Amino acid sequence: MSNTFHSALENLTGGPSRLVVLIDSSPLMALHRDNVATLVEHAARAGSPVVRFDAGHARGGHGPPWPLADPLPDGVDAAVIVTDAQDRGWRQRRFRAWVASVATRQPTALLHLLDRSVWSRGPLAPQPLRLTGASPSAPGARTPMTTADDAEDTAVPEGAALLPVLAFGPDSLAEWITVANGTGGIWRADAAVLPPDGARPPETVPWDPDPVSRFLAQASRGARELAVRLTQAPVNLPVAELLQRNLPHAPRDARAAVTEIAEVFGGDLVDPSHPLGDLDDPAAPALEFLPGVRRDLLGRFGDLSVMRSVLSSMAIEFKDCARVFQWLSRIETGAPRVTDLDGEEGLARALLPALSEMPGEYRRLAEHLRTALGETSADGAEHSTPPETVREEPTRP
């Protein structure tokens, strides 16, 4: 992308622009830190201010109006929102109303960091529209996007904001800027329709109360396979990246790969009440599945050969990061006797459901980990997490 972002941003006004770049600072945006850093660098070179926002709960105290981290600079006449729209705040009416207000005041576009294939399943659900920007005769008086006059088949509620949703990259940004400047004519683009009160459109399918069923019905194939493998592991970014790379038919495209991870991390399987840990520590359960999800997915789709491969790959890759991974790397020579986990309790609990389903030394290691955790042990006693039968044949969700 090098200098192309810089050129696109400068072209908004033919010089240092009055464009503000609004960066989502939600925790899971860590998945996209490299892309975001590139855009921020070129925004600074083009003279475009960068303001971060938090899509989560409103904060108290003094400071800029929620959800902004800093006040918007004076003279801004266009905005670009950079996000993957995975934070649960994007589903909340108050935050969506704020986004609608931004898009109503000036031309605004959203640069989406995930693959286009998942947009329709997300909280924005953009639809293809024919849009037009400001009048070419008055380029200095920019107005928000509207539907083209001949778009009779498109019903946009009165007062609703139109938010073009663009694939992250300089080419789509440059195309939007052309239309925002009033020189692009009719523009076909995906756009979210946001009513001023932030209300979401009614659901088109019946609500399924079971989070596992919802996830399996909506997620991509790669995300489903990744979720099954992550039920054997601590949920963090290095582990997810390792397991995603080793998926059958793993996409080579970097955006498609990170999209599969984001589908799991921001999906219905993850417990929103679990305190977020260090996403970059391979031994830390930064996120946690809802109670019962690990057992459910292992019981439905667990396969001994795949489980052994997952445990082995983690042990080899991360053996220098935690003693539990070191023990796993030596499992074929016998299960070590564990006397003290020394801060690795969360990692041990994340591995227990899968280890308990494995034969031989894996199951013995699970018993040692239970003892070290102070949980009820085997030999006929009730386990804190009862074992389930694992299928011998590979089965994909």
- The pLDDT of residue 136 is 44
In terms of Cα–Cα distance, which of 231, 225, 396, 365 is closest to 298? 231
Kindly state the tokens that stand for 59: 């904060």
In terms of Cα–Cα distance, which of 90, 148, 150, 155 is closest to 127? 155
- The pLDDT of residue 143 is 53
- Average pLDDT score over the chain: 83
Q: What is the pLDDT of residues 224-248, one digit of tens each?
A: 999 999 999 999 999 999 999 999 9
The Cα 163–Cα 145 span in angstroms is 8
- CB contact at 8 A, 84 and 28: yes
Top-level CATH class of 4-194?
A: alpha beta
305 pLDDT exceeds 50?
Answer: yes
**CA 291 to each of CA 202, 233, 263, 358, 363: distance values in angstroms, whole numbers, following the listed order:** 28, 15, 19, 21, 21
Q: Mean pLDDT across the stretch 361-371?
A: 91
- The pLDDT of residue 18 is 81
- The pLDDT of residue 137 is 41
Kindly state the tokens that stand for 119: 């947009």
Q: Mean pLDDT across the stretch 58-85?
A: 79
State percent of the chain over pLDDT 90: 53
Structural domain boundaries of the chain?
4-194, 211-373
- The pLDDT of residue 6 is 67
The Cα 130–Cα 28 span in angstroms is 32
- The pLDDT of residue 282 is 97
182 pLDDT exceeds 80?
Answer: no
397 pLDDT exceeds 60?
Answer: no
**CA 128 to each of CA 147, 149, 156: distance values in angstroms, whole numbers, following the listed order:** 11, 15, 12
- The pLDDT of residue 72 is 83
- The pLDDT of residue 153 is 52
Q: What is the pLDDT of residues 126-170, one digit of tens each?
A: 988 887 765 444 444 445 656 654 445 556 778 889 999 999 998
Hunting for tokens 């396979």 — which residue is that?
225
